[in-house]
Chains A and B, each alone.
Chain A
Amino acid sequence: DAKTTQPTSMDCAEGRAANLPCNHSTISGNEYVYWYRQIHSQGPQYIIHGLKNNETNEMASLIITEDRKSSTLILPHATLRDTAVYYCIVRALSGNTPLVFGKGTRLSVIA
């Protein structure tokens, strides 16, 4: 799996959009960008994934640059419950290899 780089931590005001960046400059053509988050003392939770088109679901939006070397996860209206560590991981859609976690970004949503 390609390596990703994320900021160590970010703050966001409650109700505002949280934009979490991720660099993955060595991503391969068959690799997708996956985002997970881990709320304190819980197991990771799947958020969203994408290949090259922007994606949106009930939790978040994923914006992938045209060259696919970076992406941004957007939480449109952050709440206190969104405080968590967010992990950006790139991997192929097929295969059965496990997720490999980096250090992620610790997002603190502040009231």
Chain B
Amino acid sequence: GAVVSQHPSRVICKSGTSVKIECRSLDFQATTMFWYRQFPKKSLMLMATSNEGSKATYEQGVEKDKFLINHASLTLSTLTVTSAHPEDSSFYICSARDTAKGWAAKNIQYFGAGTRLSVL
């Protein structure tokens, strides 16, 4: 299957700092990528949809000024957690679908390995 690379896999930062997470589709183009967040023992919650060349669409309750998303190319989306606080500590996961294949992609979403953010 297609490969989605996410970096870093783990980050520890001080409260008030900003953290950038990168998500790359390695062998396919993705005009749309998705960002999820997962708290311990909970399911994945969609945070936002990242659109190449345009603004991201955020889910209700997700602060767009806190979670900045940039999708500057067909293979890269970034999520920046600004002024991180301990309550932002979570497992962040990105996902992408091969949009160039259309129907042939079978609407399968591929996921990165996730980034575990710990804010002290």
Measured CB to CB, the residues of A under 8 A from B are 32, 34, 38, 41-46, 49, 87, 91-96, 98-104
Contact = CB atoms under 8 A, between A and B. Distances in A.
Contacts of A99: 34, 95, 109
Interface in B68-120: 91, 93, 95, 97, 99, 103, 106-114, 116
Contact of B106 (A44, A49, A102): A49
A22 B32 CA distance: 29
Contact of B114 (A42, A94, A95): A42
Contacts of B34: 98-99
Interface of B: 1, 4, 6, 32, 34, 36, 43-46, 49, 91, 93, 95, 97, 99, 103, 106-114, 116
B26 to A, nearest CB: 14
17 contacts: A38-B44, A41-B114, A42-B113, A43-B4, A43-B113, A44-B111, A87-B43, A92-B107, A93-B103, A94-B103, A94-B107, A98-B46, A98-B49, A99-B95, A99-B109, A101-B36, A102-B43
